[in-house]
Amino acid sequence: MEGRFPLLGEPFPELEVQTTHGPMKLPEAFRGKWFVLFSHPADFTPVCTTEFVAFQKHYEDFQKLGVELIGLSVDQVFSHIKWVEWMEENLGVRIAFPIIAANDAIAGALGMIHPGKGTNTVRAVFIVDPQGIVRLILYYPQEIGRNIDEILRAVRALKTFDEQKVATPANWPENDLIGDRVIVPPPTDQETARKHKEMYECFDWWFCHKSLS
């Protein structure tokens, strides 16, 4: 994995970072918990400010899922601290989660520097499971703010897969075909294919679905 950022299914890289809550070691600081690490291009910028407010507004939703949040940009930690103070004083929003003051090496280790989009970090999202394995990666350009509901939905879907070994359809839990139901993994032999149509609701043996148990 040396020389590139982690891919899906690989361990999140071990990093020692300085944050607004003090020094931390990742992913060790969140061992045994899910966490969402998200980067932003710069402090004191409009889109990033709206994102941090949105993440904080949903902070309890992440906590109820057992998920920790941690932000990141290449700004220095005193800039993060001042920006957090500004949001509380001017917007009435107190940011409860830490923000990493990254250097270029840390940002590079996570694939956050895209030369074609400038020298700041792009808007990256890493969802990491309790074993420290990267389960989802998203990258957004600087001009597009993220949808926090989608990140929450992705965490719920990943946890649902881990707990019940089922897949989730497009726009779950509001899918056009099967609503909030989940997809049963397709069978790999003829006998199981026959049984699937008897055990589940199916469009065909390879596309069966059920309610969450």
Q: Tell the CATH topology of 15-146.
A: Glutaredoxin (3.40.30)
Q: Is 181 left (phi over 0), alpha (psi -120 to 50) or beta?
A: beta
Domain ranges of the chain: 15-146, 165-213
2 CB-side CA count, 13 A: 0
Indicate if the pLDDT at residue 156 is higher than 50: yes
Provide the annotated active-site residues: 48
CA distance 133 to 161: 15
Share of the chain above pLDDT 90, in %: 78
Please give the helix or strand (H or E) that residue 35 lies within, else none.
Answer: strand 34-39
| Mean pLDDT, rounded, for 88-104 | 94
Is residue 68 predicted with pLDDT exceeding 70? Answer: yes
The CATH architecture assigned to 165-213 reads 2-Layer Sandwich (3.30)
- What does the pLDDT read at residue 2? 44
- Residue 122 — very low, low, confident or very high, per pLDDT cuts 50/70/90? confident
Q: What pLDDT does residue 1 have? A: 40
For residue 169, what are the CA distances in angstroms to 9, 65, 200, 207? 21, 20, 16, 11
Rounded to 5 degrees, φ, ψ at 132 are: 80, 20
Instruction: Assign 11 a pLDDT band (cuts: 50, 70, 90).
Output: very high
Mean pLDDT of 166-195: 95
For the cut 70, the answer to whether the pLDDT of residue 115 exceeds it is: no
Q: What is the pLDDT of residue 116?
A: 60
